[in-house]
Homo-oligomer: A and B are copies of this chain.
Amino acid sequence: MSLTVVGSIAFDAVRTPFGERERMLGGAAVHFSLAASFFTEVRPVGPVGEDFGGEHFELLEQRGILTEDIERVPGGKSFFWRGRYEYDLNLAHTEDTQLGVFAEFEPKLSPGSREADTLFLANIQPELQRQVRAQCAAGFSGLDSMNLWIESAKDSLQAAIAEVDCLVVNDAEIRQLTGESNLARAARKVMELGPRAVVAKQGEYGAALFTRESFFALPGFPLEDVRDPTGAGDSFAGGFFGYLDSIDGDLEEANLRRAMGYGTVLASFNVEEFGTERVSRLTREEIDERFEHLRGMTQFEGLTAASE
């Protein structure tokens, strides 16, 4: 199985109460790809500048990520984001965004990326998402977005959402998109557009999954040390879609729930350190151990049942 993801490949400057980094590898497609790489073959699609060097390709390739669709633009500069978080890490402030080579991006997928079984459209301009969707034959697809596109390109975004199987966005964005404050109703309205499943990311509260027949939710994994929330949502999506791709996109309820668990686990590792630091040296054993831990934490039967 294989998974294509399109989205930002970036450098981030991040300051939190627990430290700062002036320039580190980041971007939605990077966090997503690293998380998904524990489950399947991943192909990130997106442009980078000349500042994107061999060591950055290597960080991805050492996780088995296929980088042939990362387009290095001569003379260009990579997408750059600068942000800071308050003592309450839920409060984030963007201080600078430079699109760089992303401003001129015209997606052209390689044959390998076109033939992927699963496609994830990370948060970029909805028309670009649609161009990528049109090029990829994937039988299972997902999409993330943000308030900027709801406000500035709602029609395009709704068209893009109609073309995927699963929407994965923050809960506030589901409300904003649908004009419906009740999340269960809002999720139903999204499904009326097309998707079979809606995942509401809820930050430290975890994530909720809506399908036409069911509801499931997981809390965020309770960590005492969170250093940098950047990329948590993309890591969640990477774990979620990576796992589903690895089982052939079988959306049986129990599989969707396990995917929610892997998403939660990958997001939790991601925030333990800055940027990609923790996930880039993670092991599948650590993931499975935390997954079982999370499962035990969410069973009514308690610790005994969980350790069986």
Contact = CB atoms under 8 A, between A and B. Distances in A.
A152 interface: no
A163 interface: no
A184 B224 CA distance: 6
A175 B182 CA distance: 26
A161 B300 CA distance: 27
Sorted nearest first, the 6 A-B pairs with minimum C-beta distance are A217-B219, A254-B302, A253-B302, A205-B205, A184-B222, A215-B222
B224 A185 contact: yes
Contacts of A222: 183-184, 208, 210, 215, 217
A130 interface: no
A148 interface: no
A161 to B, nearest CB: 21
Interface stretch (A4-12, A232-240, A291-299): A291-299
A254 B184 contact: no
A185 B302 CA distance: 22
A297 B206 contact: no
Question: In the complex this chain forms, how many copies of it are found?
Answer: 2
A224 B178 CA distance: 14
Interface string A211-230: 00111110100111110000
A303 interface: yes
Interface string A247-261: 000001110111001
B181 A89 contact: yes
A301 B254 contact: yes
Contacts of A253: 302-304
A204 B223 contact: no
Given A205-B202, A253-B302, A302-B253, A217 B181 contact: no
